[in-house]
Structure 1
Amino acid sequence: MDNLGIVIIAVVVGGIVYYQFKKRVDIQLNEEVVDTELSMDDVVSFFKMQKLEQKRHIPFMANGDCVKFRKLFHAPYPKAKEGYCSLMIGVYDENTQEIIVSKLIHAKSLDNKIIEAFGNENLIVLN
C-alpha cells in the first residue's frame, strides 16, 4: 500500500474514532499505571495479544492527556496522574463501528518511537 493509501485510511479511521468520542459513547476504559518508560514495543505487544483481523480491526493510539478526548467520554474520564504521561490505545472494529478494546496507560515517560509516531497529532492509526 502506498503512502497515500495509508494516509486515507488514517484519516477515515481517525474521523470514525473521533465520531465515536463525539457521540460520547460509553467505552469501557481500562487503566494501567507504569512506573517506567512505556515503549513502542510494549504497545505493539499489547496489540499482538489481541485477536485482530486484518481489514476489520484497526489499532490506534491517542494522546491520553488531550483535553478534547478527555471531554468526549460519556463516563467520567480518569483524572490525569501528576508526573505521568497518558497514552490511550485501542482497537476500532469496522464491522460494528465500535471501539472494542481501549486502555489508558499512565507512564513515567514515553519512548522516542512513540513520540515520533505522534508528531503533531493527538490520534494515530497503526497498521
Structure 2
Amino acid sequence: MTADEALPDGVHEEAASAFVERARSGYGDDLAELYVFGSTVRGEASGRSSDVDVLVVLRDDVNHDAVADSLRDIAYDVMLEYGPLVELHILSESTFERYREEGNPFVRTVVDEGRAYA
C-alpha cells in the first residue's frame, strides 16, 4: 500500500462526516467549536497522502486530556474504517479565542475556509 494509493471518490468527506457525527454524539456538550478544513473542504483530497484535517475546540470546563484521548480514539477508528488519516488539532476554548483575537494565521484560515460544526 502506497501513500498515493487510490481511495474511493468522496471517502475523505465520508470520513470527515463520520468523525463529526461520532464526536458530536459522544462529546457534543464538551465541544465549543468543531471545524473540518484543508483539502477535504476544498474538494482536493485524494489518495492516502491526503488527510482529513479537523480542529476541535474544547470548552474550558471539561477534562481536556480525557476528552482529547477519546476523540483521538474516534479519529483512529474512522481511519481504520474509511482509509484516510484524521488529523486532529485540539485547542481549549480560551486558547482558541485568544488566537482568534490575535489574528493567529492557523486559526484565521480554519475559521475563514473551514466548515464549522458543533
TM normalised by structure 2 equals 0.36
Higher strand fraction (1 or 2): 1
- The normalised TM-score by structure 1 is 0.34
